[in-house]
Chain A
Amino acid sequence: MTSPVLAVSDLRAYYRTSAFGVQREVRAVDDVSLAIQPGEIYGLAGESSSGKTTLIKTIANAIQPPLQVLAGSVLFDFAGQRFDIHALRPRELAAIRWKHLSYIMQGSMNVLNPVRRVRQTFVDFAFRHIGRPLPEFLDVVRQHLQRLHLEPQVLEAYPHQLSGGMRQRVTIALATVCRPQFIIADEPTTALDVVVQKGVLGMIHEVQRALGSSILFVTHDMAVHANLSDRLGIMYAGRIVEEGRTADVFRAPRHPYTTHLIGSLPHLGDAAPKQGLPGAPPNLADPPPGCRFHPRCPRASDLCRRDVPALETDASGHRVACFHPATESVAESIS
């Protein structure tokens, strides 16, 4: 096995606030470990407030108070060099950003500076990494845009002159122009309508294959994961509860929460209405003891209410954190 491009181990990141003298702690990311291989698309799934966004903020080192990293490490391996992203000085961090590590953000509507032409944004983000005089740099950008089937004229447009889908495509071009080894994509298709979404996903897949980058792809939309990711991690209440090859997870989910997520996908020929999951995700300021899923779990036992299940790895590399994981037949019967 090659060494992973990203290795997160035992990461713990909490929001710590004190208002009117009352300390509050929101355990948004609790003991998360994961590894992403070169050239891999790693999908991260989970409902809103499961800690996905906090996890990628921590991985990208976009940490602002009250968010604090309490334990664990985030190690990147770029071109044989190791970077502990939380130990880097601002200057070193800026040198990595966009050259090796880039970002496609949620809410593509407002990620481009509204009062500047798109060209200016490309210059701001990428010029210093390409290391060529400005006219040559712009040629590089134009070629890149053409490779992604975008008109070079978009460079002269202001963001408000582009449609939502177009803006998202431009953002993808922006994130890939420096050929980074690692791209974090945070709900890049959520705000788009289905047809545009398909095009944008195709574009991400294409550019990923061309560059050989790794992508950490975050979305709550399981259908998108089914089409795009190589491996899939499921997050619930600040923890990863299951992880495995996407095909395996969909074919034979082991954790009851995963089972539910996949079961909620529509299938052609469905007759019975979908069952909702009772209850709400836990308040991370005061999570339940033991397994955080137990109040909503059909298989919960006393053990689940008392102890935290560890994330166990089986022979095939599939990981699950459950005392009563499903066997394939059980999973079939539920979904």
Chain B
Amino acid sequence: MGRTLLDLLRFNRQFASGAALLLIVAAYACLSFFSPYAPNDTYVAPPDVPPDWTYLMGTTSRGQDLFWLLSFAIRNTLAFGLAVAVLSRLLALAIGLVAGYSGGLLDRALMSLNDTFIVIPLFPILVLFYFVMRDRMSWGLLALMMACLGWAYDARLIRSVAMSLRHREFTETGIFSGMSMRQILVEEHLPYVLPIVFSTTMNNINWSIGLEVTLSVLGFTDINTPTIGVLLYWANQHTALVSGIWWWIFFPVLLVVMTFIGLFLLAVSMNEYIDPRSRLGRRAP
């Protein structure tokens, strides 16, 4: 796995540029630990100052230094995406591996459930969730909810890999040597699905950040924890565009788009690496 990543970094331009983009974003998020202000401080700077050498990205109408505020926001946004991805990975792996390994009725039942979660429109449900939770809605709760709803697509991919592993020799050796299903799945099959888990993680982070931004912009989350979406929410509340405070919108959007494209490039290049058929296609154009 480590060597694969290194190879991709050296030979795949898409992968390298995706990694570079994410590295910039991550480094910027780390700056938040050195911020002179607390994330929720307001009126610590003169309001509505355009970008200059003192305030690199200008200040907001709430008197916040956008440079530092944004570093908090992107950190929280990235952490949110990671949290959803890790939690939903656990679900997707468990369901995908078990369904692919056991086959038969259990597989059919799990995949039926899986397709259900793929089809159900999640956005109205998340809005309903916010509606009944209101002020109790928190960053962690939303992450948990989204993880519970967003595992299905990847579970399907993992299952298809697990199915192909089921009839391989080492699986049968494992069965005959008395390994339990859990042991076989964790010790034998997990390493094979890791590459695909990696690429789906990138896509899943993209998906969850996208939904988080959307919900936050509408004010359907905890608006006191700064994330990219919450930042845009406040900008909208202060009609930043109309009053010409473009930097309040521009920098958050720029940063989050960099994140999206970075993650996407990693996922695409990784996918191409995994799928032997597309590699075949590359060799004989």
Q: Do chains A and B touch in the complex (CB under 8 A)?
A: yes
Residue of B nearest to A67 (CB): B284
Q: Count of B residues near A, CB < 8 Å?
A: 2
Chain A contacts of B285 at CB under 8 A? 65
4 contacts between A and B (CB under 8 A): A64-B284, A65-B284, A65-B285, A66-B284
A73 to B: closest C-beta gap in Å: 26
Q: Count of A residues near B, CB < 8 Å?
A: 3
Q: What separation, in Å, do the CA atoms of A66 and B285 have in the docked complex?
A: 9
Residue of A nearest to B11 (CB): A20
Looking at chain B's contact residues, the main secondary structure is: loop
A66 to B: closest C-beta gap in Å: 7
B7 to A: closest C-beta gap in Å: 12
Looking at chain A's contact residues, the main secondary structure is: loop
Chain A contacts of B284 at CB under 8 A? 64-66
Q: What separation, in Å, do the CA atoms of A215 and B168 have in the docked complex?
A: 42
Residue of A nearest to B285 (CB): A65
User: Residues of B at under 8 Å CB distance from A?
Assistant: 284-285
Chain B contacts of A66 at CB under 8 A? 284
B135 to A: closest C-beta gap in Å: 56
Q: What separation, in Å, do the CA atoms of A64 and B284 have in the docked complex?
A: 9
A110 to B: closest C-beta gap in Å: 15
Q: What separation, in Å, do the CA atoms of A65 and B283 have in the docked complex?
A: 10
Q: What separation, in Å, do the CA atoms of A120 and B284 have in the docked complex?
A: 30
Q: Indicate with 1 or 0, residue by residue over A37-77, a CB within 8 angstroms of chain B CB atoms.
A: 00000000000000000000000000011100000000000
Residue of B nearest to A20 (CB): B11
B214 to A: closest C-beta gap in Å: 39
Q: Which 4 A-B pairs have the closest CB atoms?
A: A64-B284, A65-B284, A66-B284, A65-B285
Residue of B nearest to A19 (CB): B283
Q: What separation, in Å, do the CA atoms of A64 and B285 have in the docked complex?
A: 9
Q: What separation, in Å, do the CA atoms of A210 and B235 have in the docked complex?
A: 84
A65 to B: closest C-beta gap in Å: 7
Q: What separation, in Å, do the CA atoms of A72 and B284 have in the docked complex?
A: 25
Q: What separation, in Å, do the CA atoms of A258 and B18 have in the docked complex?
A: 58
A281 to B: closest C-beta gap in Å: 23
Chain B contacts of A64 at CB under 8 A? 284
B51 to A: closest C-beta gap in Å: 46
A57 to B: closest C-beta gap in Å: 14
A18 to B: closest C-beta gap in Å: 12
Chain B contacts of A65 at CB under 8 A? 284-285
